[in-house]
Amino acid sequence: MVVVAHPDDECFAFGGAIALASDRGVETYVVCLTDGQAATYRGDAASGEELGRIRREEFAASCRVLGVTHHELLDYQDGRLEFAEFSRAAGRLVERMRRFKPDVVVTFGGDGSLNTHADHMIVSMLTTAAFHWAGRARRYPELAEAFQPRRLYTLTSNFFHPDRQRPLPSPWTVVLDIRPVRERKAEAFRQHASQAPLMERTKANFEEHGGEEYYTLLAAEEPGPARVGTDLFQGL
Ligand SMILES: [Zn+2]
């Protein structure tokens, strides 16, 4: 289960991990909290609502390219996630975790990952809370039966966009070689036609660094020292 903030996060950030999981027959579920109406690049959209509709379709097309089993877009306002009611928003994720029962949950790092977007930071915090609360029967007892996912990973990075303030990334514990699915990740990104100028702007950076994705194991069943692995599902 992957939790993101905006249509296109699923591919530019997590596309490699999702495509690799899907190729292994892992059932995947991407939850996106907003429809991306506050984007800088607006394609031909005449209004925020129209852009939201366009980006909803682009998100669905990108998920198809990546082989996502289930995708869902919630109704939070782009650019305003920090003002959403925390407990209610986390509860919506708790409910989805309890129903889908993922082994592995993946989201952004607390630094906002790569472009340091505040929405990404909030998604990281909501998902972290939801991951732990999903397993606690006393939290949200009205929302399905408690279920504890086994691992939580957050995205981190070894490179940054030169035109943005540099975040403080968490150290990685998984280096994913995504070269076998790199072209599909790019193809998924191309489904976001409204964001084509963004793709152009970040292209050189992704060409240089795009062969790998980096993740931090944030929570696991057994206590122990961090080890660097090459697979989000190792030992599951
Ligand atoms: Zn985003």
pLDDT digits (tens, 9 = 90+) for 80-108: 999 999 999 999 999 999 999 999 999 99
> Is the predicted pLDDT of residue 162 greater than 80, yes or no?
no
83 versus 112: which is more confidently predicted?
83
Distance 108 CA to ligand 1 centre (A): 9
CA of residue 224 to ligand 1 center, whole Å: 32
For residue 197, report the distance from its CA to the centre of ligand 1, in Å.
15
pLDDT at 200: 85
State pLDDT tens for residues 36-69. 998 888 888 889 899 999 999 999 999 999 999 9
How far does the centroid of ligand 1 lie from the alpha carbon of residue 96, in Å? 20
Report whether pLDDT(180) > 80: yes
- Computed over every residue of the chain, the mean pLDDT equals 94
> What does pTM read for this prediction?
0.96
Question: 101 CA to middle of ligand 1, Å?
Answer: 25
| Three-class secondary structure assignment of the chain | CEEECCCCHHHHCCHHHHHHHHHCCCCCEEEEEECCCCCCCCCCCCCHHHHHHHHHHHHHHHHHHHCCCEEEEEEECCCCHHHCCHHHHHHHHHHHHHHHCCCEEEECCCCCCCCCCHHHHHHHHHHHHHHHHHCCCCCCCCCCCCCCCCEEEEEECCCCCCCCCCCCCCCCCEEEECHHHHHHHHHHHHCCHHHHHHHHHHHHHHHHHCCEEEEEEEECCCCCCCCCECCCCCCC
